[in-house]
């Protein structure tokens, strides 16, 4: 009987240690595959390179919209989705940024829908009173060209059309202003 109890104890210990090992391996895999910590400026292979093309019909209003049409301005390219809580939380900051720069012809925001239905994204933009254009990316080709794996992610593009930097996570109005000043100083 003692041998039977000892054998059961060893099996339980072995099973528990295997379960703990698998849990640790899973956690390491999740952390190793995250694109960036949320809310941080991150390196991008696009820094200094021409920004990949963005073109389509604006979700609100349907007018033709493109990054090329904004040449000569600093452009915040914002990848977002309606289901993304940080995207929803940053919408008021983007709206405040756009409002505070409404008379500045050198600043623009261009949204790109990432992993979301255009109708859902349009409803989100309308609910926040977004006045900047946004385009759908149903194939994911724009997100792929920018290296975006999950929203929200933002890129600052110079007036000459080159990528200045990338930010992963929820933006604030003060960060956007500081990012714009830093971009203009470089």
Q: What's 46's domain CATH number?
A: 3.40.30.10
Identify which of 40, 35, 34, 37 has the alpha carbon closest to the alpha carbon of residue 172. Answer: 40
Cα 76-77-80 angle, rounded to 5 deg: 120
- pLDDT at 10 (0 to 100): 62
Give 44 or 26, the one with higher predicted confidence: 44
d(CA 182, CA 186): 6
Range of the domain at 114: 40-185
CA atoms lying within 13 Å on the CB side of residue 13 = 6
Residue 156 shares a structural domain with residue 176? yes
Which tens digits make up the pLDDT trace of 89-118?
999 999 999 999 999 899 999 999 999 999
Residue 55 shares a structural domain with residue 89? yes
- Rounded to a whole number of angstroms, the CA Rg of the chain reads 22
Residue 173 shares a structural domain with residue 103? yes
Residue 6 shares a structural domain with residue 46? no
Mean pLDDT value of segment 11-28: 48
Is the Cβ–Cβ distance between 77 and 151 less than 8 Å?
A: no
- pLDDT at 27 (0 to 100): 35
- In the chain, the number of structural domains is 2
Q: What values do phi and psi take at 167, rounded to 5?
A: -130, 130
Mean pLDDT value of segment 57-85: 95
Residue 25 shares a structural domain with residue 46? no
pLDDT at 153 over 70: yes
Residue 68 shares a structural domain with residue 139? yes
Cα–Cα distance list, 96 to 40, 109, 116, 128, 165 (Å)? 20, 12, 24, 11, 21
Q: What values do phi and psi take at 55, rounded to 5?
A: -155, 150
Q: Which of 63-77, 153-167, 171-185 has the lowest mean pLDDT?
A: 171-185
Identify which of 161, 176, 173, 168 has the alpha carbon closest to the alpha carbon of residue 143. Answer: 168
Which tens digits make up the pLDDT trace of 25-34?
433 333 333 4
Identify which of 142, 111, 109, 134 has the alpha carbon closest to the alpha carbon of residue 59. Answer: 134
pLDDT at 80 over 70: yes
Is the Cβ–Cβ distance between 107 and 177 less than 8 Å?
A: no
Cα–Cα distance list, 88 to 10, 80, 113, 170 (Å)? 51, 9, 13, 9
pLDDT at 38 over 80: no
């Amino acid at each position: 009987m003692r041998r039977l109890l000892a054998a059961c104890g060893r099996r339980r210990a072995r099973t528990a240690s295997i379960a703990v090992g698998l849990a640790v391996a899973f956690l390491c895999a999740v952390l190793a595959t995250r694109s960036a910590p949320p809310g941080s400026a991150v390196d991008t292979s696009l820094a200094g390179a021409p920004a990949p093309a963005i073109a389509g019909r604006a979700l609100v209003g349907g007018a033709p919209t493109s990054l090329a049409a904004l040449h000569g301005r600093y452009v915040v390219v914002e990848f977002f989705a309606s289901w993304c809580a940080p995207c929803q939380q940053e919408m008021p900051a983007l709206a405040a940024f756009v409002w505070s720069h409404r008379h500045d012809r050198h600043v623009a925001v261009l949204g790109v829908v990432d992993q979301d239905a255009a109708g859902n994204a349009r409803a989100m933009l309308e609910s926040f009173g977004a006045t900047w254009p946004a385009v759908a990316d149903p194939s994911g080709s724009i997100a792929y060209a920018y290296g975006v794996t999950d929203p929200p992610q933002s890129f600052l593009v110079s007036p000459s059309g080159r990528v200045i930097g990338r930010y992963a996570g929820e933006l604030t109005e003060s960060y956007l202003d500081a990012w714009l000043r830093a971009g203009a100083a470089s």
